[in-house]
Amino acid sequence: MVGSSHEAMHRIFQKDPALLTRALQQVLRIPFPEPHDFAGMNVDLTEIEPIERRVDTLLRAETDEGAYLLVVESQGKPDERKRGSWPYYLSYLYEKYHCEPVLIVVTQNSATARWAAEPIHLGVRGCPSLTVRPFVLGPDNVPVIAKASEAERDVPLAVLSAMTHGRGRQAPAILESLAVALRTIDRDSAAVFVQFVDSCLADTQARKMWRDLMTAMQYFWRHPLAESVRGEGRVQKGAEMTLKILEWRGVPVSDAVRHRVETCTDEDLLTLWARRAMDVSDAEELFDADGS
């Protein structure tokens, strides 16, 4: 189970390495060659000396132009120590593997993104011996995917969008679109992506909305995250969940509809209504003949 935003922000690329190169090509407009194979690598860069150095994620991408080492660092806030560590990582990896290293920093914070994007110059001021230019994926360049049709076209990118932008006014549309898109992929992959998003949602209301959506869809019902949700008492009853989803989506709820939902005691029926609440444009559509 993914336990932190830091973990999720880089582990999504372990789950789908191709997302990383698509982000380089499509988001950052870097002419990175098309990989035909990926391999995970040991993230421990510690030498014989007792100085521990670890990258967050390290992938080897095989392309027609040769192999690249993709170094992914998840950054929550500025850390000046990284300005010494990152050049070391790239130099060490190049010397050890004789492959071109590429540094990608991922963050949910615009200020941190601006800090991370600053070139690192080592040497004489104005004439450095070494310059490192990190590639940064953050709120200012990761696309906001708030339409289900767009999310379905590239589910991993939609997951990264939710992890990066899952707060504020855009959160409901982003999370709802992703919830719809997750129906189009296999349950195991969906369950992993659900964890990544859940770990990155710092906004309490957004996380509650996400957990209610996922509980209604039962994507991760048998996963440890579901046990966590139950244990923390955050799983809403079916009636409450149905009405909340309609509220988040801006679908008007009449007193008659509210009364019918709140007085229903059929658990299966409430689960059906909760699922329908994610799609209907009129609250009365919850009670279509095949489900009423």
What is the C-alpha separation between 283 and 276, in angstroms, rounded? 9
Tell me how far apart the alpha carbons of residues 153 and 147 are, in angstroms, rounded to a whole number: 10
| 79's tokens | 């850390």
DSSP 8-class letter at 169: G
Cα dihedral sign for 168, 171, 172, 173? positive
How far apart CA 130 and CA 120 sit, in angstroms, is 8
Joined together, the tokens standing for residue 188 give: 């195991």
Residue 186 corresponds to which amino acid?
A: D
Q: Taking the CB of residue 179, how many other CB atoms lie within 10 A of it?
A: 25
Q: Mean pLDDT across the stretch 132-156?
A: 93
Mean pLDDT, the chain, rounded, equals: 81
What's the pLDDT band for 45 if we cut at 50, 70, 90? low
Q: What DSSP line would sit under 57-102, residue for residue?
A: EEEEEEETTEEEEEEEEE-SS--TTHHHHHHHHHHHHHHHH-SEEE
Determine the pLDDT at residue 235. Answer: 35
**Choice between 72 and 278, residue whose per-residue pLDDT is larger:** 72
Residue 153 scores a pLDDT above 90: yes
User: Using 50, 70 and 90 to split pLDDT, how confident is the model at 50?
Assistant: very low
